[in-house]
Amino acid sequence: MPSYSEHTDPILIAAARQGDEQAFRLIYEKYHDDLFQMAFKRTRSKDDSSDIIQELFIALWNNLDNIHVTDNIGAYLYVALRHRIFNYYEKQSVRLHHILQQPLEPVSSEDLILAGIRAKEIQACVAAAVLVMPEKMKTIYRLAKEQQLTMQEIATQLELSPQTIKNQLYLAMERIREQLRRNDLARFIFLI
């Protein structure tokens, strides 16, 4: 069974379309809590929110081949959730004016949740880029970014010149930028 812990949404979506339940489970685990919070904010019912989220993921699983999403499953799920919440209100016979009184723009807490989803996408994208780096580059990147060592400290520890460290970090960042571009996340490069 393949390990997808470092993989991005496009890889998980492609694997899930091939019937890989582990890949689909990872999509579910990645987005469930944030989507549940959004549903609960609108319905104020844990049971109804759970049902809506469960139906959303069942529909996703059953229709993966018909859904034209290849890279940003989080945005797709957010929109699908909003439609399911509107259907929920219709089924509950809530009058239309109640729905229209809700703001159409995401409220600040939803913005925070969406930012959290985006941060997870960026982290997964960076992790995937680091995973395939040559060993020396990966080591230098991790010492600089994860352990916050200076270039001089890394050079001393690895017995390399500071210029080599600088060059390897530059190349590592280029690889990460390319991975972000491929996943339409390039505008978030400043976060890494």
* pLDDT attached to residue 43: 86
Residue 14's domain comprises 9-100
Looking at the fold, whether 147 and 73 belong to one and the same domain comes out as no
* pLDDT attached to residue 40: 92
Looking at the fold, whether 17 and 96 belong to one and the same domain comes out as yes
* pLDDT attached to residue 104: 57
* pLDDT attached to residue 178: 83
Domain count, the chain: 2
- Say how far apart CA 181 and CA 184 lie, in whole Å: 5
Contact of 55 with 123, CB cutoff 8 Å: no
* pLDDT attached to residue 190: 45
pTM exceeds 0.95, yes or no: no
* pLDDT attached to residue 1: 45
Contact of 43 with 85, CB cutoff 8 Å: yes
- Residue closest to 130 by CA, chosen among 101, 102, 171: 171
Looking at the fold, whether 49 and 84 belong to one and the same domain comes out as yes
Q: Is residue 35 part of a domain?
A: yes
Domain boundary residue among 56, 80, 100?
Answer: 100
CATH code for the domain in which residue 151 is found: 1.10.10.10
Q: Is residue 1 part of a domain?
A: no
- Say how far apart CA 17 and CA 126 lie, in whole Å: 24
* Measured CA distances, 87 to 31, 45, 90, 98 (Å): 21, 15, 5, 13
- Say how far apart CA 135 and CA 182 lie, in whole Å: 22
Q: Is residue 3 part of a domain?
A: no
The structure tokens listed for 75 are: 């945005």
Q: Is residue 147 part of a domain?
A: yes
Looking at the fold, whether 85 and 13 belong to one and the same domain comes out as yes
Looking at the fold, whether 85 and 120 belong to one and the same domain comes out as no
Looking at the fold, whether 80 and 137 belong to one and the same domain comes out as no
Cβ burial, residue 73 (10 Å; 0-12/13-18/19+): buried
* pLDDT attached to residue 5: 54
Q: Is residue 4 part of a domain?
A: no
In the block, tokens 């703001």 appear at: 103
Looking at the fold, whether 95 and 124 belong to one and the same domain comes out as no
Q: What is the pLDDT along the chain (192 residues), one digit of tens a residue?
A: 455 556 788 888 888 999 999 999 999 999 999 999 999 998 888 999 999 999 999 999 999 888 887 778 888 899 999 999 888 877 775 445 555 566 555 555 666 777 777 777 778 878 888 888 999 999 999 898 888 889 899 999 999 999 999 999 999 988 888 877 777 655 554 444
Domain boundary residue among 100, 128, 150?
Answer: 100
- Residue closest to 181 by CA, chosen among 115, 125, 108: 125
Q: Is residue 183 part of a domain?
A: yes
